[in-house]
Amino acid sequence: MDMGLAGKSVFVAASSKGLGKAIALEYAREGAKVTIASRDAAQLEAARNEIASATGHEPHTVLLDVRKAEDVRSAIRSAAERHGGLDVLVTNAGGPPQGGFESFDDEGWQQGYELTLLSVIRLIREALPFLRQSADGGRIVNVASMSIKEPIPNLILSNVFRAGVNSLTKSLSLELAPDRILINTVAPGRIGTDRITQLDYQRAESLNVSIEEVQRAANAAIPLGRVGTPEEFAKAAVFLGSYANTYVTGQALLVDGGAVRGL
């Protein structure tokens, strides 16, 4: 399938590792002009070299802390200036801390909001003027979590604010349709990243069991019986944020191996 991405300008936030890097790599494979962003300069450099080596397309790099408004503004403008505009925006951020309702005071909630929801709002706001000028219409993909459909125990900040991201997606799909901008949410389940491993270690410690026991139980709850790979997730995300997608907007796609049972 031709994704129609050759030569398109694509910005992927939080893309020095994990799901963001996998998405950026997949866009580069499709011939897009990719900008990757992270607050970690060393990881960013390593990701640039990895993507360039794998695809022959060296991404543009920008330092970005998605919690800082000026960083967001500067990063989006740098991408647009480097590649002559912006066609595709992928919003993404590291997950907020785990914990239940009584684990967080006002400051904890505020930090979770700024990282997980306000960062998406700011990225979209800064990208919109450029996306509106895209010759074939812009694309926005918001990376969230399967918690938008089924709350995950002990991840209340993610549950609340990722649901907000999905609500933003649906609301903006109506507002942006006249501009020919399609916007969707892609929601990972258990995908093999450092974030999942970290959460598994924390759960194992809290239950006083081995991480292998935690992982066996988690995988057994997935109908496909295994974690997904970052590449599998990235392919779904890139389709939604491509020009092969011409009629899907305002939707949430779960890439979870069937883990969420709800209709």
- Determine contact, residues 43/36, Cβ cutoff 8 Å: no
Buried b (16+ CB within 10 A) or exposed e, 182-212: bbbbbbbbbbbbebbeebbebbbeeeeeeee
Across the chain, where does the E strand assignment appear?
9-12, 33-38, 60-63, 88-91, 139-143, 182-188, 252-255
Tell me the pLDDT tens digit for each residue of 177-227.
999 999 999 999 999 988 888 888 888 888 898 999 989 998 999 999 999
- Determine contact, residues 103/147, Cβ cutoff 8 Å: no
Per-residue pLDDT of the chain (263 residues; tens, 9 = 90+): 999 999 999 999 999 999 999 999 999 999 999 999 999 999 999 999 999 999 999 999 999 999 999 999 999 999 999 999 999 999 999 999 999 999 999 999 999 999 999 999 999 999 999 999 999 999 999 999 999 999 999 999 999 999 999 999 999 999 999 999 999 999 999 999 888 888 888 888 888 989 999 899 989 999 999 999 999 999 999 999 999 999 999 999 999 999 999 88
pTM: 0.96
pLDDT reported for residue 196: 86
3-state secondary structure (DSSP) of residue 96 = coil
pLDDT reported for residue 203: 86
User: Domain ranges in the chain?
Assistant: 9-190+229-254, 193-227
Strand 60-63 vs strand 88-91: parallel, antiparallel, or unpaired? unpaired
pLDDT reported for residue 3: 98
- Determine contact, residues 226/257, Cβ cutoff 8 Å: yes
In angstroms, the CA 154 to CA 144 distance is: 17
pLDDT reported for residue 68: 98
In angstroms, the CA 67 to CA 118 distance is: 8
Residue whose C-alpha is closest to residue 30's, from 96, 104, 106, 88: 88
Torsion sign over Cα 73, 26, 83, 60? positive
pLDDT reported for residue 109: 98
At CA 167, angle to CA 164 and CA 169, rounded to 5?
110
What six digits make up the tokens of 150? 């089924």
Sheet with 88-91: strands ordered across: 60-63, 33-38, 9-12, 88-91, 139-143, 182-188, 252-255
Tell me the pLDDT tens digit for each residue of 132-157.
999 999 999 999 999 999 999 999 99
CATH number of 9-190+229-254: 3.40.50.720
